[in-house]
Amino acid sequence: MSRPDPIPGECSLELKAHMIGSVHLLRLALNMKAELQEVMNRLRKLQGAIDFGNAPMAEREELASDITDIMDALFEVMKKLPDE
């Protein structure tokens, strides 16, 4: 048995489900982006503490480099997430 044609101006259940799923995925992506931004903020704070810490210069530079690498990787992930 074939499905009846949708009423003009209405969309199919499949389309509604797809739209709801898309909105849900967008919300998840935006939440993830906000959480990643919070991690970036914490890393900046940590980097500042390392810069002004009492550890030997070589150790501070190594830690700062590691943090920069992590922040760069997070930024690349964030660029792939939608803005809106």
Q: Evaluate whether residue 15 is within a structural domain.
A: no
Q: Please check the confidence at residue 35 and state whether its pLDDT lies above 80.
A: yes
The C-alpha angle with vertex 29 and arms to 24 and 30, in degrees rounded to 5, equals 100
Angle at which helix 57-80 crosses helix 13-51, to 10 degrees, equals: 170
| Tens digit of each residue's pLDDT (9 = 90 or more) over 5-19 | 556 666 777 777 777
Structural domain harbouring 58:
33-84
Q: Evaluate whether residue 44 is within a structural domain.
A: yes
Q: Evaluate whether residue 16 is within a structural domain.
A: no
C-alpha–C-alpha distance, residues 3 and 28, integer Å:
33
Share of the chain above pLDDT 90, in %: 35
What's the gap between Cα 84 and its chain centre?
12
Query: How many separate domains does the chain show?
Result: 1
b/e burial code for range 23-40 (CB count within 10 A of at least 16 → b): eeeeeeeeeebeeeeeee
Residue 14: the pLDDT is 78
Q: Evaluate whether residue 9 is within a structural domain.
A: no
